[in-house]
Amino acid sequence: MNDAVIEQITEQDIEYRPGLLARLYRPSGEGPFPAIVEVHGGAWVSSDRMNNAPLARDLARDGIMTLSLDFRMPPDAAYPGSLQDINYGVRWFKSRAAEFGARAERVGLFGTSSGGHQVMLAAMRPNDPRYAAHPLPGGPDASVAFVISAWGVLCPLLRYGIAREQSNTTMLDSHHRFWGAETAMSEGSPPLILERGEKVETPPAWVFQGDADEWVPNEVAERLAAGWRNAGGQLELTLFPGEKHTFMRNFPDSANSQRALAMLKAFVRRHG
């Protein structure tokens, strides 16, 4: 366990599963604080819990507790290995929420890019036995109060098709290493899950991306929103004009990224 105090917030690395670290960004004060479990991007196969550290620090400075997860990736584990770790991470965080200064029943999920895809899956299938494979005796389930997907790769099957059309060997390799086959990409596609009529959870959701995202056509985000609402859930969709994939990573470097950051904080406070 490693602690550091940075500009009145506390950062703490914690081993939440054997061999897996999470970094907790805790605001100053007593709480209880709104809280999110954050899932990084990296085409499902790269990066770590520090990927969105500047954003997590900014959220904590503004009173939003953030737990940023490491999780298994290829070659250690392909799909659904990372979903198992994310599911466990949510349950673990909820089981210790009061200790950290949060409320278990108000914990949400937030992810970017491939992490934005995985948080949607995790929120939709909190009790899927494949995802909940790691036991936490006496712990809560992995249901969340809300979910936020930032430029999430909402349909991995569609992005695989884009990568194939572009002969993007790096992206194709990432898909092959994580998913293995197109059948798995379809099985793990949130818009397709909803269109197939599968029984899933639909907590309050916010999905946002640039309207010029090169990996996620606007039509895919709109299909997800329609399916979520048809399944009885509430989903807010925001398309930021002229922005491409990962536009908010270097925030606040544009009016759109500043607006997205303000909307992110407002959504968390409203639902957390």
Dump pLDDT digits (tens) for 11-34.
Answer: 999 999 999 999 999 999 888 999
Retrieve residue 238's tokens: 């925001």
Task: Report in angstroms the alpha-carbon separations of 266 from 209, 270, 272.
Answer: 17, 6, 10
Residue 42 is classified by DSSP as S
How far apart, in whole angstroms, are the C-alpha atoms of residue 6 and residue 10? Answer: 6
How far apart, in whole angstroms, are the C-alpha atoms of residue 43 and residue 152? Answer: 10
**CB burial string 184-204: b at 16+ within 10 A, e below:** bbbbbbbbbbbeeeeebbbbb
Question: Which CATH superfamily groups domain 2-271?
Answer: Alpha/Beta hydrolase fold, catalytic domain (3.40.50.1820)
pLDDT score of 72 more than 90? yes
Q: What angle do CA 237, 272, 220 make, to 5 degrees?
A: 20
Retrieve residue 17's tokens: 């599963």
pLDDT score of 1 more than 50? no
Higher pLDDT, 239 or 249: 239
* DSSP string of 102-113, one letter each residue: B-GGG-EEEEET
247: confidence class by pLDDT, cuts 50, 70, 90 = confident
Residue 33 is classified by DSSP as B
CB-based contact 223:148 (threshold 8 Å): no
Domain segments of the chain as ranges? 2-271
pLDDT score of 250 more than 90? no
Dump pLDDT digits (tens) for 101-147.
Answer: 999 999 999 999 999 999 999 999 999 999 999 999 999 999 999 99
pLDDT for res 5: 43
Instruction: Give the percent of the chain with pLDDT over 90.
Output: 92
272: confidence class by pLDDT, cuts 50, 70, 90 = confident
pLDDT for res 30: 86
- Which H or E element spans position 236? strand 235-240
Dump pLDDT digits (tens) for 44-54.
Answer: 999 999 999 99
Average pLDDT over residues 148-171: 97
How far apart, in whole angstroms, are the C-alpha atoms of residue 168 and residue 36? Answer: 33
Dump pLDDT digits (tens) for 217-228.
Answer: 999 999 999 999
Average pLDDT, rounded, for the chain = 95
How far apart, in whole angstroms, are the C-alpha atoms of residue 82 and residue 67? Answer: 16
